[in-house]
Amino acid sequence: MKLLAYVHLRRIYNATGAGRVVRNIIEQLHLLGRDDIRLLVDRADRQDVIPKVGKPWSDYRYLDFRLDTSWQQAMWIATDRPRAEHWWPEADIVYCTSESYVPTRRAKSIVTLHDASYFEPSALPRNAGFARQKAKWQVLYRKLERNADMFHTVSDFSAQRIAHFYPAMRDRLRVVHNGVTERFFQPPNAAGEAGLARLGVNDKPFILLSGGLSYRKNAEVALAAWPRLRSMHPDLTLVVPGHCEPGYIEQARAIGASIILAGYVDDDTLCSLYHAARLVWFPSLYEGFGIPVIEAMICGTAVVASAASSIPEVAGDAALLVDPVRAEQHVEALDELLTNDSTRTELVTRGLARGQRFTWAAAAATLRGHLTELA
């Protein structure tokens, strides 16, 4: 199979969320070793990003365009030119690794759609930025609805919601669950432990709130629940890796030193955080998949999460799930696991078993099976 994969390279450096999906899927497709794979990329991004990420990305075969990614995407949507065969006439399949459009003449096309958040009534805050982005996504999804041959999404929940808003896509949707990066199947290392020391939590009991503070990650409920929980467990610290929106940063700082905003952390440090945490808390309102839930499980840490969107599908019976908007339920669930060793141990055991299902190697193999439907 000759596979031309369109990759937004800026997403693979210091990758989180959708960027983590792109990076792992491409690496695993290469490791399968069955196909001729070339990457279609922004030339300036290739020159900037590839030296930073190094191998195996420095060994891949690239075809590039000169326009900035955003301008190239706008041209493709507006004019359907140039087509993918301009770069590689022999390509069998064009794979857009995230929500984007590359026109084709002969080759079949498959596009990854992570979720339908911009079309949902309450998944994201309503502001000027949301309105602009929703308008862009509506144009893109209508284009894809007319032209793409297949869609890859990351959960049954996402497939159902995408099909709800775009019914014509339903028969072309294929679900391939995300995986856990290999680093999290391994024990903590010295670099990760040094990361804990830099954050000042190597000798403190803490809860890990993975995913940052934002509207979508349910920051309002998290920041309302935390002071109540800390009054019950005054020795605890809340560690928050990931992006935090400015308004929530101010609220967190107003609560005080019991909240540590860690920002971006590398996988070594994140692995150590998962292992060292008393619990992992994932109160998110809306997820296409929810990778932190499985990362925590495979690191042997019990999880409290919202019973919302895809999270029950991913967590199964291996996490304590609560109403996302009721802060008191989050407090009660966290307190239960902090004080009840048997319940916590049972969830850890279930989580370790469940996490084994979610590997990137399995995801890539399943995705390739769908690709062969098109070839």
Q: What is the pLDDT of residue 124?
A: 92
300: left (phi over 0), alpha (psi -120 to 50) or beta: left
Longest distance between any two alpha carbons in the chain, whole Å: 65
For the beta carbon of residue 315, count every other beta carbon within 10 angstroms. Answer: 25
* CATH architecture, range 2-179+359-374: 3-Layer(aba) Sandwich (3.40)
pLDDT of 166 > 90? The answer is yes
Residue 67 burial by CB count (10 A; 0-12/13-18/19+): exposed, middle or buried?
A: middle
Query: Do residues 154 and 21 lie in contact, with contact meaning Cβ atoms separated by under 8 Å?
Result: yes
Here the tokens at position 338 are 């902090």
Query: In CATH, which of 3.40.50.2000, 3.40.605.10, 3.30.950.10, 3.30.450.20 is domain 182-355?
Result: 3.40.50.2000
H-assigned helices in 54-178: 69-79, 128-147, 156-165
- Cα distance between residue 257 and residue 128, in whole Å: 33
What's the CA dihedral at 270, 274, 279, 283 to 10 degrees?
40
Amino acid at 260: I
Q: 210-228 burial string, b = 16+ CB within 10 Å, else e?
A: bbbbbbbbbbbbbbebbee
Return d(Cα 243, Cα 234) in angstroms, integer: 26
> By percentage, how much of the chain surpasses pLDDT 90?
97
Residue 126 has what pLDDT?
Answer: 86
> DSSP code of 213?
B
What is the average per-residue pLDDT within 325-338? 98
* Confidence tier at 128 by pLDDT (50, 70, 90): confident
Residue 6: which of 37, 52, 29 has the closest Cα?
Answer: 37
**Helix, strand, coil fractions of the chain, as percent rounded to 5:** 50, 15, 35
Residue 231 corresponds to which tokens in the numbers above? 């009054």
Structure tokens at 175: 């679900």
Q: What are phi and psi of 55, to 5 degrees?
A: -70, 150
pLDDT for position 91: 98
Span 52-81, average pLDDT: 97
pLDDT tens, residue by residue, 279-312: 999 999 999 999 999 999 999 999 999 999 999 9
Task: Note the pLDDT of residue 16.
Answer: 86
Strands (E), the chain: 2-6, 36-42, 61-65, 93-96, 108-112, 150-153, 173-175, 206-209, 237-241, 259-263, 279-282, 303-306, 320-322
Residue 188 main-chain phi, psi, to 5 deg? -60, 150
Per-residue pLDDT, 15 = 86
pLDDT digits (tens, 9 = 90+) for 246-262: 999 999 999 999 999 99
Question: Cβ contacts of residue 151 below 8 Å, gap of 6+?
Answer: 110, 111, 112, 113, 144, 162, 169, 172, 173, 174
Q: Are the C-beta atoms of 249 and 319 separated by less than 8 Å?
A: no
Region(s) of the chain under CATH 3.40.50.2000: 2-179+359-374, 182-355
pLDDT surpasses 90 at 129: no
pLDDT category, 375, cuts 50, 70, 90?
A: confident
Q: List own/partner pairs for 305-309 with CB under 8 A and 24 or more apart.
A: 305/281, 306/218, 306/282, 308/284, 309/115, 309/123, 309/157, 309/284, 309/285
Express as a percent the part of the chain with pLDDT over 70: 100
- Dihedral angle computed from the Cα positions of residues 243, 249, 255 and 256, in that order, rounded to the nearest 10 degrees: 80
